Amino acid sequence: MKHTRGLTIFLTILLVLGSFIGWWNHRWTVLNDLRVPQTRTATLFLPGTHGAWLSLRSMVTSLNRPHVGTFALTARVTWNGHVTWQQHQAVGRNNPLIPVIFKDNTHPQKQARQLATVLTQLHRRYGIDRVNLVGHSSGGTIAYDYLNDHAPAPVAVARIVMMGADFPERTRLADRYPELKILNIAGVIGRTGNDSEVPANTVTPLRRLVAGRIGQYRYETFTGPVWDTQHSLLHENPALDAKLMRYLYPPS
């Protein structure tokens, strides 16, 4: 009897685990039919505080597919700002996707200055002159601080997507970027008004900071269950990935 009960429990666990794996894999089918224009505009991915390669790995690798994007490079930045490059695939008219990994990953303003070095080298080494930025959490703050840097890189920032980012003690954008478009996304778990870490009402002040300084600003909430909208799971959400790429690479 004990053996039978143990076997039943074991088989039940396997069934539940198999169902979960099947459901998790099915979520990613939303990307199967995704098609966006292929361009030389590179998209750089900026992780948040204490973020490393694993932070945005699934987002970058899931978008590395035909007709969507190409995981072309990884940029790694040391504490003192030295950049090393790892090339994975050709950099061309294939929507290059580039995660940026900062060794010092707790100081957004410093990282913003280091980002200028990354973009300058990207231009000189690979001929990229137009980029998008995707920032999760304080990665969005890095992108904003870069815009306020008085020594920008010789590239044009076309579009920025910020996810679960807040902007403490930030002043209004100093310079004008008439061609720049920003999509600011807040995750909201059910009716909580936050993503478990960042309240939506701390994401919205960006509108005031960029008003009259950029070409277009859009704010959206991404509302749903915890496994879709929790702060650290926003970048594990294939539906959000698809929305992001359609925004970054609109039809010509």
Which carries the bigger pLDDT value, residue 174 or residue 17? 174
Minimal CA–CA distance to 97: which of 142, 132, 66? Answer: 132
3-state secondary structure of 35: coil
For residues 120 and 85, is the Cβ–Cβ distance under 8 A?
Answer: no
- Predicted confidence (pLDDT) at residue 217 exceeds the cutoff of 80: yes
pLDDT of residue 106: 94
Q: What is the mean pLDDT of residues 7-23?
A: 45
Which domains are assigned to the chain? 41-248 (3.40.50.1820)
Q: Tell me the per-residue pLDDT of 20-52, one tens digit each, with 9 for 90 and over.
A: 344 344 455 789 989 999 999 999 999 998 888
Say whether pLDDT at 2 is over 80: no
Please report, for residues 10, 45, 50, 249, the alpha-carbon distance to residue 242 in angstroms, rounded to integers and kept in the order given: 37, 15, 25, 11
Give the model's pLDDT for residue 6.
54
What is the tens place of the pLDDT at every residue in 100-154?
999 999 999 999 999 999 999 999 999 999 999 999 999 999 999 999 987 788 9
Beta bridge partners of 131: 42, 157
Residue 251 CB burial class (10 angstroms; 0-12, 13-18, ≥19): exposed
Higher-confidence residue of 132 and 7: namely: 132
Backbone angles phi, psi at 83, to 5 degrees: -110, 130
Q: Which two tokens stand for residue 214?
A: 């950029």
Cβ atoms of 42 and 132 closer than 8 Å = yes
